[in-house]
Amino acid sequence: MERRSYIQLSSLETRLQSLIELIESIKGRDRLLEERLAYIEDDIARIRFELRRIREMIEELHQKSQQPIKESRIKRKEEYTPFLPIPEKVEKEPLGLTITEEKILKLLLQDPSYGVEGATGIAKTLGMAREHIARTMKKMVEKGLLIRDETKMPFTYKIPDEIKRKLLTTQQ
User: Does residue 75 carry a pLDDT above 60?
Assistant: no
User: Cα(16)–Cα(39) distance, rounded to whole angstroms?
Assistant: 35
DSSP H helices in 67-98: 71-79
Is residue 146 within 8 A of residue 159, CB to CB? The reply is: yes
Confidence band (pLDDT; 50, 70, 90) for 70? low
Rounded to 5°, the CA angle 138-143-145 comes to: 85
The pLDDT score that the predictor gives to residue 91 is: 42
CA distances from 16 to 5, 6, 7, 12, 29 (A): 16, 15, 14, 6, 20
Return d(Cα 138, Cα 128) in angstroms, integer: 16
In whole angstroms, give the CA distance from residue 109 to residue 85: 13
pLDDT, residue 87, reads 44
CATH of domain 71-171: 1.10.10
HSE (CB half, 13 Å, CA atoms) of 166? 14
Which residue ranges make up each domain of the chain? Answer: 1-67, 71-171
Q: What is the pTM of this model?
A: 0.45
Q: Which residue has the higher pLDDT, 157 or 8?
A: 157
> Is the confidence at residue 89, as pLDDT, over 70?
no
Helices (H), the chain: 2-66, 71-79, 99-110, 114-126, 130-143, 161-171
Q: Average model confidence (pLDDT) for the chain?
A: 80
Give pLDDT, residue 139.
92
State mean pLDDT over 90-102: 70
**Contact (Cβ atoms closer than 8 angstroms) between residue 126 and residue 103:** yes
**What would the pLDDT profile of 11-62 be if each residue is shown by its tens digit?**
888 898 999 999 988 888 888 888 888 888 888 888 888 888 998 988 888 8
Instruction: State percent of the chain over pLDDT 90.
Output: 19
